């Protein structure tokens, strides 16, 4: 074993050591040269095979090699640790001068926004906001509202029934049953609005959903007249659709009111000229209303000679469609963010 070979081994080991740039490569290098099966260890083992006179010189040279490589190894390990730390600091650095990321924030559903807008208007007119059950007895949904069983008007509300052996139970097809619940619980004066979900067994198309929202209104007291109804609804329509709105009342029929009316505003798209939205009539019907039927008052134990009142009911989706030109009611319940996010700037 000549000193040239030791020298050559040293050169090769040092070159490879400097080529190592990671902890893993370094560990591998250590095993290759200084480990139990490493080249240097193998070299030292050869000591015993040499003639005795060569042993001291070879031993010194081999040990010197081992020590030098060990030092170089430790030095390189420090360097690599620093290199890796520097790389990590660079890659994890936070640039505090970058603008912050805005987290996505949801928006209120247009129907929720409209319910708030409408109930706000009525709250300022002195109405209280109350809510009622979506699963309702047939008695409240129909009978007490002057729609007895077998009455043909009962078919108008295509009702979803819930199976029941005893009392008839339905998903409420309108918010009117809350008229009865409120009057049963309280004595006049009553002024309430009732927003809520309704359900109907309905074929879905551009203007019909099987699930939708209504807002009901009810005012009962002594001396309440149709003039109060007209004034209240006209003020409501002007706050929601613009002060310049003209309003129209026409006769209509609902079993729980007498007389019944439909309430319309002049079309805000064509200002009454006639267009697609108003079906060329110049008018847009926005709700049904009327004087509470004396029989309904009797059903809750009120004396119709003493008390009178009026009620109204409107579809919330329809109001949004009219106000913002939404062409199809099905958009409301498809969860399409492209539709919903268009309503994120409407003040609530
Ligand atoms: N409940 C009726 C419907 O769903 C709407 C309605 C009409 C409500 C006249 C009323 C009313 O309170 O007076 O079609």
pLDDT in tens, 180-218: 999 999 999 999 999 999 999 989 999 899 999 999 999
Beta sheet of 308-315, edge-to-edge order: 128-129, 190-199, 211-221, 308-315, 283-292, 257-266, 247-252
The one catalytic residue in 29, 157, 283, 310 is: 157
Average pLDDT value for residue range 253-266 = 96
Phi/psi of residue 84, nearest 5 degrees? -65, -40
Percent residues over pLDDT 70 in the chain: 97
Question: What does the alpha-carbon distance between residue 230 and residue 310 come to, in Å, rounded to a whole number?
Answer: 10
- The 3 state secondary structure assigned to 250-267 is EEECCCCEEEEEEEEEEC
Question: Is 257 marked active-site?
Answer: yes
How are the residues of the chain apportioned to helix, strand and coil, as percentages rounded to the nearest 5? 45, 20, 35
Least confident of 56-60, 229-233, 313-317: 56-60
pLDDT at 156 over 70: no
pLDDT in tens, 12-33: 999 999 999 999 999 999 999 9
Tell me, yes or no, if the pTM score tops 0.85. no
Residue 289 phi, psi dihedral angles, 5° rounding: -160, 180
Q: Which atom of ligand 1 is nearest to the CA of 179?
A: 12
Residue whose token pair is 């409209």: 114
Kindly report, residue by residue over 34-90, the tens digit of the pLDDT.
999 999 888 888 888 888 888 888 888 889 999 999 999 999 999 999 999 999 999
Q: Are 81 and 73 in contact (CB under 8 A)?
A: no
Our measurement of the distance from residue 159's CA atom to the centroid of its chain's CA atoms, rounded to an integer in Å, reads 29
Report CA 86 to chain centroid distance, whole Å: 44
292 classed as catalytic: no
Q: What is the mean pLDDT of the segment spanning 119-139?
A: 97
The larger pLDDT score, comparing residue 157 to residue 101, is at 101
> Exposed (0-12), middle (13-18) or buried (19+): which is 284, by Cβ within 10 Å?
buried
Residue 179 and residue 296 in contact, taking contact as beta carbons nearer than 8 Å: yes
Q: What is the pLDDT of residue 101?
A: 87
User: What is the rounded CA–CA span in Å between residue 141 and residue 146?
Assistant: 10
Give me the pLDDT at residue 47, please.
84
Confirm whether 214 is a catalytic residue.
yes
Active-site pick, 62, 170, 257, 264: 257
Helix (H) or strand (E) segment spanning residue 111 = helix 110-124
């Amino acid at each position: 074993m000549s000193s040239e070979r030791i020298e050559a081994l040293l050169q090769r080991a040092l070159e490879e050591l400097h080529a190592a740039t990671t902890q893993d490569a370094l560990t591998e290098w250590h095993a290759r040269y200084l480990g139990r099966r490493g080249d240097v260890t193998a070299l030292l083992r050869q000591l015993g095979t040499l003639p005795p006179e060569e042993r001291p010189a070879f031993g010194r040279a081999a040990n010197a090699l081992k020590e030098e490589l060990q030092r170089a190894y430790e030095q390189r390990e420090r360097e690599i640790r620093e290199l890796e730390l520097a790389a990590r600091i660079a890659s994890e650095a936070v640039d505090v001068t970058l603008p912050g990321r805005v987290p996505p924030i949801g928006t209120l559903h247009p129907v929720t926004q409209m319910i708030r807008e409408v109930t706000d208007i009525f709250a300022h007119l002195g109405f209280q906001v109350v809510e009622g059950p979506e699963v309702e007895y047939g008695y409240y949904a129909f009978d007490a509202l002057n729609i007895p069983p077998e009455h043909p008007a009962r078919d108008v509300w295509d009702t979803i029934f819930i199976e029941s052996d005893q009392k008839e139970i339905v998903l409420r097809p309108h918010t009117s049953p809350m008229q009865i619940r409120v009057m049963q619980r309280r004595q006049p004066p009553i002024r309430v609005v009732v927003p809520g979900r309704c359900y109907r067994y309905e074929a879905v198309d551009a203007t019909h959903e099987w699930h939708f929202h209504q807002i009901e209104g009810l005012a009962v007291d002594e001396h309440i007249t149709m003039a109060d109804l007209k004034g209240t609804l006209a003020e409501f329509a002007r706050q929601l659709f613009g002060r310049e709105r003209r309003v129209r009342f026409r006769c209509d029929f609902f079993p729980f009111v007498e007389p019944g009316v439909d309430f319309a505003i002049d079309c805000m798209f064509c200002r009454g000229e006639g267009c697609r939205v108003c079906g060329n009539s110049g008018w847009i019907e926005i709700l049904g209303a009327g004087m509470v039927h004396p029989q309904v008052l009797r059903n809750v134990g009120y004396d119709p000679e003493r008390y009178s009142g009026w009620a109204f009911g409107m579809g919330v989706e329809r109001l949004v469609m009219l106000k913002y030109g939404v062409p199809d009611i099905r958009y409301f319940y498809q969860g399409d963010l492209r539709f919903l996010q268009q309503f994120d700037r409407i003040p609530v």
